């Protein structure tokens, strides 16, 4: 439906509403409004923009410890940006300049990495390109945002302890031009946290080697920092869920009972076309945009399913995750149908592309196995590539468990998994590696020379040594 046609419908509704109101009758307008307070339990504050220029967003982030109530009745000291869990949402338009002034009030050094954003290497927040921000010091990040989509930010030194203590936030880049109607935005930042009975945070090195090797999952699952929050919805009124997995190690898998879900976006903005799905899995670091046009039905608890990243014979029982409350209001109607084509994603020409092999592996040692990449288990592996070339990387996993591969600074397309092409074309910065499978990705490098990291996004694994560098040379 064209915007003009949609506008005419709205005008029709308004006329009808006026007429009905004239009759003194109490009828909810048959429009496309969400129920009152539909996202009250979940709305995340946007970071304040301190620059009045329309195409510059200046945000101030203070990394600091604060005491908050994550579990009702218990006080927990968490690490936050601006005292919030998650940190404030940074919002910009495609093409904007973004300036982020970071102050470190933590007891240890930190950096901020802009996961998925194509920033210059010097702004990427990794130790190879930036001096860590020491306690009491600050750093100013500034970069242009080139891609619309759902991204996030988090520290990149001692990532597992720092992210695990609460340092993460969403970063949304909106399309500069008018976009198709894809429903009302709802950000869902998924994470977990380990909290002991007395309210204190579980120690960052909990369970020692086991914690490192298996990846630390917190006992409490959070959505936007909340336990089991409620989303209100109305049949016929579409919602656009922007979902981020900001957990250290947790794979989030869920379905919405009784409601159809359509995936419309991934790590790097919209998919080429909508993809109806029965359920969704986000590995650490990944994003998904989902279009949910509720049908009439029951309010439900959305279960969190076991993603079984260890490939155990039996799945764990589902846990309560979120509530979807279908309000008792007349269904909305007139939602424009989803466009058959959401965006243009060019196929990458891989003729003559250089190939590289990346193997996520493990090595036995006297103190238990260690994880690594291509035989290096201390993060020292360095691959080389040239600016403005296309490479095809063959990713394998010879361990017994899943690992999410993440590349900094560049999007890639998945060409095939064990020879099978994915159902729709999309841009990724993270992809799950299942043991024994071969994932081929095509990476178009641009001119941003420098040192870029790639690693497992189970942050305990990255910290353990399942990480490496890509030196992109002019």
What does the binding site for ligand C2O look like in residue numbers (CB under 6 A)? 113, 115, 154, 156, 285, 406, 408, 453, 455, 457
The whole-angstrom separation of Cα 430 and Cα 425 is: 14
Partner from Cu ion, ligand C2O, none contacting 115, C-beta within 5 to 8 A by type: ligand C2O
DSSP for 305-372, written as a single string: EP--TT--SSPPPPEEEEEEEE-SSPPP--PPPPPS-----PPP--TT-EEEEEEEEEE--TTS-EEE
Q: How far is the CB of 106 from ligand C2O (least distance, A)?
A: 18
Interaction of residue 456 with Cu ion, rule CB under 5 A: yes
Q: Count CA atoms closer than 13 A to 331's CA, side-chain side.
A: 11
106 binds Cu ion (CB under 5 A): no
Nearest-approach distance from CB 415 to Cu ion, in angstroms: 22
CB of 15 to ligand C2O, least distance (A): 50
461 binds Cu ion (CB under 5 A): yes
Residue 287 binds which entry of ligand C2O, Cu ion, none, CB below 5-8 Å type-dependent: none
Q: 435-462: b or e for each residue (b if 16 or more CB lie within 10 Å)?
A: eeeebbbbbbbeebbbbbbbbbbbbbbb
Smaller CB separation from Cu ion, 440 or 455: 455
Rounded least distance, CB 263 to Cu ion, Å:
24
Enumerate residues 386-405 that contact Cu ion by CB under 5 A: 403
Nearer to Cu ion, 456 or 472 (CB): 456
Residue number with CB closer to ligand C2O (397 or 430) = 430
Q: How far is the CB of 453 from Cu ion (least distance, A)?
A: 14
Residue 466: exposure state from Cβ atoms within 10 A (0-12, 13-18, ≥19): buried
d(CA 429, CA 339) in angstroms, rounded, equals 25
Provide, rounded to whole angstroms, the least separation between the CB of residue 41 and ligand C2O. 27
CB atoms within 10 A of CB 291: 22
Taking only Cα atoms into account, the Rg of the chain, rounded to an integer number of angstroms, comes to 23
CB of 433 to ligand C2O, least distance (A): 15
Contacted entry of ligand C2O, Cu ion, none for residue 408, CB cut-off 5 to 8 Å set by kind: ligand C2O
- Per-residue three-class SS string for 143-161: EECCCCEEEEEECCCCHHH
Q: Which is nearer to ligand C2O, 242 or 455 (CB)?
A: 455
User: What residues contact residue 127 under an 8 Å CB cut-off, 6+ apart?
Assistant: 111, 156, 157
162 vs 224, which CB is nearer to ligand C2O?
Answer: 162
Least CB distance to Cu ion at residue 363 (A) = 14
Task: Choose the one of ligand C2O, Cu ion, none that binds residue 285, judging by a C-beta under 5 to 8 angstroms depending on kind.
Answer: ligand C2O
List CB contacts of 210: < 8 A, sequence separation 6 or more: none
232 or 464, CB closer to Cu ion? 464
Between 247 and 338, CB nearer to ligand C2O: 247
Q: Compute the CA torsion angle 238, 244, 250, 251 (nearest 10 deg).
A: 50
Residues 403-442 that bind Cu ion (CB under 5 A): 403
Nearest to ligand C2O by Cβ — which residue? 115
The binder of 458, among ligand C2O, Cu ion, none, by C-beta within 5 to 8 A per type, is Cu ion
**118 Cβ neighbours under 8 A, 6+ residues apart:** 146, 147, 409, 410, 411, 446, 448
403 contact choice in Cu ion, ligand C2O, none (CB below 5 to 8 Å, kind-dependent) = Cu ion
Residue 294 binding: pick among ligand C2O, Cu ion, none (C-beta 5-8 Å cut-off by kind): none
Size of the site for Cu ion (CB under 5 A): 4
Give 109-155 as a DSSP string. -B--EEET----GGGS--TTTS--B-TT-EEEEEEE----EEEEEE-
CB atoms within 10 A of CB 320: 12
Q: Compute the least distance from the CB of residue 447 to Cu ion, in Å.
A: 31
C-beta of 21 vs 312, nearer to Cu ion: 312
Residue 461 contact among Cu ion, ligand C2O, none, beta carbon within 5 to 8 Å by kind: Cu ion
Contacting positions for Cu ion (CB under 5 A): 403, 456, 458, 461
């Amino acid at each position: 439906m064209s915007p003009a046609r949609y506008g005419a419908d709205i005008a029709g509704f308004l006329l009808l509403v006026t007429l009905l109101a004239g009759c003194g009758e109490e009828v909810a307008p048959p429009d496309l409004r969400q129920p009152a307070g539909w996202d009250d339990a979940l709305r995340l504050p946007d970071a304040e923009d301190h620059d009045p220029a329309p195409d510059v967003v200046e945000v101030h982030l203070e990394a600091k410890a604060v005491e908050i109530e994550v579990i009702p009745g218990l006080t927990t000291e968490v690490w936050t940006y601006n005292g919030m869990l998650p940190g404030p949402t940074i919002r910009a338009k495609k093409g904007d300049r973004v300036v982020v002034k970071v102050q470190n009030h933590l007891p240890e050094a930190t950096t901020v990495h802009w996961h998925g954003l194509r920033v210059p290497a010097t702004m990427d927040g990794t130790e190879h390109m930036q001096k860590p921000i020491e306690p009491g010091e600050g750093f100013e990040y500034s970069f242009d945002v080139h891609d619309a989509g759902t991204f996030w930010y988090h520290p990149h030194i001692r990532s597992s302890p720092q992210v695990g203590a609460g340092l993460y936030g969403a970063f949304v880049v909106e399309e500069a031009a008018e976009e198709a109607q894809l429903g009302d935005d709802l950000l869902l930042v998924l994470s977990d946290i380990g909290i002991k009975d007395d309210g204190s945070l579980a120690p960052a090195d909990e369970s020692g080697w086991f914690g490192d090797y298996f990846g630390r999952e917190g006992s409490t699952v959070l959505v936007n920092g909340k336990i089991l929050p409620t989303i209100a919805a109305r049949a016929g009124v579409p919602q656009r869920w922007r979902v981020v997995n900001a957990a250290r190690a947790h794979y989030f898998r869920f379905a919405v009972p009784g409601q159809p879900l359509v995936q419309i976006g991934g790590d790097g903005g919209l998919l080429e076309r909508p993809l109806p799905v029965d359920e969704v899995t986000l590995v650490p670091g990944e994003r998904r945009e989902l279009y949910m046009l509720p049908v009439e039905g029951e309010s439900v608890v959305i279960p969190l399913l076991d993603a079984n990243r260890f490939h155990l014979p039996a799945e764990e029982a589902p846990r309560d995750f979120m509530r979807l409350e279908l309000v008792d209001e007349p269904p909305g109607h007139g939602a424009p149908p989803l466009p058959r084509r959401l965006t243009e994603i060019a196929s990458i020409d891989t003729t003559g592309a250089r190939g590289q092999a990346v193997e996520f592996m493990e090595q036995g040692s006297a103190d238990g196995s260690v994880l690594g990449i291509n035989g290096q288990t201390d993060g020292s592996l360095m691959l080389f590539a040239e600016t403005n070339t296309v490479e095809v990387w063959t990713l394998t996993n010879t361990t017994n468990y899943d690992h999410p591969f993440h590349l900094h600074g560049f999007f890639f397309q998945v060409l095939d998994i064990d020879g099978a092409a994915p159902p729709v074309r999309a841009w990724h910065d993270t992809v799950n590696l299942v043991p024994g499978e071969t994932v081929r990705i095509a990476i178009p490098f641009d001119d941003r020379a420098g040192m870029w990291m790639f690693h497992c996004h189970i942050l305990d694994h990255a910290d353990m040594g399942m990480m490496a560098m890509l030196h992109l040379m002019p």
